[in-house]
Amino acid sequence: MSNLLNIGVQALQSNQSALATVGQNISNVNTDGYSRQRVDLVSRVDQGGVYVIDVERIADQFMTQQLWTDLSAYNQSSTFAGLAEQLDNTLASSTTSVSASMDDYFSALQNVVDDPVSIPNRELFIAQAESLVQRFNDVDANIQRQNETVNGMVDSLAGQVTSLATNIADLNGRISLASASNNSVNELQDQRDSLTNQLAEIVGVTVIDQSSGDYSIFIGNGQPLVIGQSVNQVVSLKGDPDATQKEVGVVIAGNLTNIDDEISGGKLGGLLQYRNEELNDARDELGRIAISFADSMNAQHQVGIDLNNEFGGNLFKDVNDLSSQLERITAHSDNNAIVTTARVEIDAVAELQATDYELMVGSQNQFTLVRSSDGQRINLNQLTQETGATTSDGIAAVDQGEYFLATDGSSLSFAVDGIKVTIETTNGFSKGDSFAIQPVRSGADDLSLAIQDGRELALASPLRVTADTQNQGSGVASTTITDRSADAFATPGALNPPLDIVFNNSDPLSYTVYDISQPDNPQVFELDTGSGSVALENQTYTPGSEIQVDGFAITINNQPMAGDRFRFEFNQDGVSDNSNALAISSLQIADVMDGASYQDAYGSLVERIGTRTANSQITATANLSVLETTESAKASLSGVNLDEEAAKLVQFQQAYQASAQLISVSQTIFDSLLSSI
């Protein structure tokens, strides 16, 4: 009888606990992150009855780990896709596109070609050039604003990571304390998993569930974030050497470690991936286009003459303006080298790459240049070495594929990929020194118009070519300026000397170049080659080949005849001449950018960004589908099913009532025994 009463009491208590657990599940059916609980009942051995051995939290660690992985992957791809879409809209929209503004620029230039004398046409072209400059500046400003947005988000997310890590470490301590006191830790574990979910949304994490019940959490390449109740702070850092781009670091035992290159997953990983792979690439390519445009336009404009019979100046700001050269290279703050001058010159526009570089100094003045776009490493010591009597001579001698290192190791100059880098120090270079080189990053921001007066537009050729009226052949002569600083142009408004080309005989056809400074006494022209003079007399004629003279080249096409004559003199007051305007206009379709025109290069940029954006959106959608599948699987295991809980409620209610009845029967039997005595 006593045993029957004990069994009833135990059953009553156990089923009461089961009912309480079912009630807890039902009440938390809408609680985020709640894992359903189950009472584990065990029969007492050799004594009869039942007791509650545990209130189990239904969770699968493997599935939870998978959820953290999927959360990180989705948030990284969705963050990347969202920002990439903004960039794609900026570059491709007709209201902000550089391509549309460039079409307007060349349209205005065509009006000038049609009527080079028209001052209104010239002023309209100047206005359209200013509009194009503003469009380049505006697109670059939008990209810089996105960079500032990324910086702000890095600041915020770094703080959130530290805050979440602190709360997880606190829960580690509370769980350990509760476990030691034999109290339930289910709700605390749910809270910890929920915080870890939030952490995984921000950054990729590796979570190890220790035997003690603590979570150890690592980020990056295994940097500890949470170990038991200890937390290492994640911070945003001022970029070094690029101060415009925030980086991520972790403070471990008081030491700051930069983990910017190691972060992946989550919103933070998406931000850094977007900045490194998309944003910087777009700004570099936009800058390369702007630099190529300005440099080629300036080069062609400078070989024409304006309405004042003067050679043209820069149409746009010089791409090798000293301030621009200086801002293209930055030394790392920890360098030992004391730099006096560091500059990057645009040396060959056609070879420019839309990328940045890192120059690293090894032992014994071994220099390595790493190109970011493809990771290629260039050992400068394997380039052709230049020498010079002085440091300045050595630096000046460096051409593409060459380098110069001063004998005392204090100065370095090298030229690759269309750029020429020069670094001069007072104490030389040390192992571990590094420099960030960004040759084209600010190209679009630096672009500005150098001419404001339409009269200064150099639209005419400085040379007038006149075919003799008695010519019998079909020859057509043209000129190309090769050096506007040559002695031939030393006297303003004159060609010194003026030249005639006369074809001598027909088998084989040859020509002689005459100096006609004295028309009544022409002399054979002698070309100074630098190593002596060469008389250009009875030279064999090859159709279309260039005839090099002082400061310009002559090309005669088709078939002249013996006795034909062409005269070359300064194009004084050639205001109606549009030769140079045509040459400038032809740059619209010229392959000035490594086999592509300006608009082809911009179109490729838009296409590349658009393709990456579309791919990132597809990836984000796919990752979302995977995440939803994992969440559904986890919910089916750990989530509360009201129908199931309702059935259990009835089950445990009946068991509870039966247990109470068992106690009642025991009491009745006991009363009967007492009354029979």
397-455 pLDDT per residue, tens? 999 999 999 999 999 999 999 999 999 999 999 999 999 999 999 999 999 999 999 99
Please state, in angstroms and as integers, the Cα–Cα distance from residue 330 to each residue in 241, 361, 447, following that order: 6, 14, 21
Q: CA nearest 514: which of 565, 557, 466, 558?
A: 565
φ/ψ of residue 38, rounded to 5: -140, 135
Q: What is the mean pLDDT of the chain?
A: 92
Query: Of residues 412 and 46, which shows the higher confidence score?
Result: 412
Angle between helices 61-92 and 119-180 (to 10 degrees): 170
Q: What is the pLDDT of residue 2?
A: 54
Beta bridge partners of 342: 423
How far is residue 276's CA from residue 437's CA, in Å, rounded to a whole number?
15
Model confidence over 149-195: pLDDT tens digits?
999 999 999 999 999 999 999 999 999 999 888 888 889 999 999 99
Contact 354, 281 (CB under 8 A): yes
Model confidence over 133-148: pLDDT tens digits?
999 999 999 999 999 9
How far is residue 198's CA from residue 263's CA, in Å, rounded to a whole number?
16
Model confidence over 596-629: pLDDT tens digits?
999 999 999 999 999 999 999 999 999 999 999 9
Classify strands 377-379 and 223-227 as parallel, antiparallel or unpaired.
unpaired
Q: What is the pLDDT of residue 129?
A: 97
The answer to whether residue 541 scores a pLDDT higher than 80 is yes
How far is residue 545's CA from residue 539's CA, in Å, rounded to a whole number?
12
Q: CA nearest 616: which of 147, 84, 202?
A: 84
Q: What is the pLDDT of residue 24?
A: 87
Classify strands 247-252 and 255-258 as parallel, antiparallel or unpaired.
antiparallel
Lowest mean pLDDT among 41-50, 309-318, 630-639: 41-50
Please state, in angstroms and as integers, the Cα–Cα distance from residue 46 to each residue in 7, 41, 50, 219, 268, following that order: 12, 16, 11, 52, 59
The DSSP result for 627-644, as a single string, is HHHHHHHHHHHHS--HHH
Q: What is the pLDDT of residue 455?
A: 94
For the chain, the domains span: 2-56+641-676, 64-271+597-630, 329-440, 463-570
3-state SS of 142-188? HHHHHHHHHHHHHHHHHHHHHHHHHHHHHHHHHHHHHHHCCCCCHHH
Tokens 């020194």 -> residue: 433
Residue 470, Cα to own-chain centre: how many angstroms?
63
Model confidence over 652-662: pLDDT tens digits?
888 888 878 87
Model confidence over 59-110: pLDDT tens digits?
888 999 999 999 999 999 999 999 999 999 999 988 889 999 999 999 999 9
Which regions of 4-139 does DSSP assign to beta strands (E)? 37-43, 50-57
The answer to whether residue 9 scores a pLDDT higher than 90 is no
Q: What is the pLDDT of residue 349?
A: 92
Beta bridge partners of 56: 38
Q: What is the pLDDT of residue 599?
A: 93
Please state, in angstroms and as integers, the Cα–Cα distance from residue 175 to each residue in 112, 170, 218, 259, 309, following that order: 80, 9, 20, 30, 88
How far is residue 429's CA from residue 597's CA, in Å, rounded to a whole number?
40
Angle between helices 280-301 and 579-586 (to 10 degrees): 160
Q: Which two tokens stand for residue 584?
A: 């400038």
Angle between helices 98-114 and 119-180 (to 10 degrees): 170
Lowest mean pLDDT among 43-57, 273-287, 355-369, 467-481: 43-57
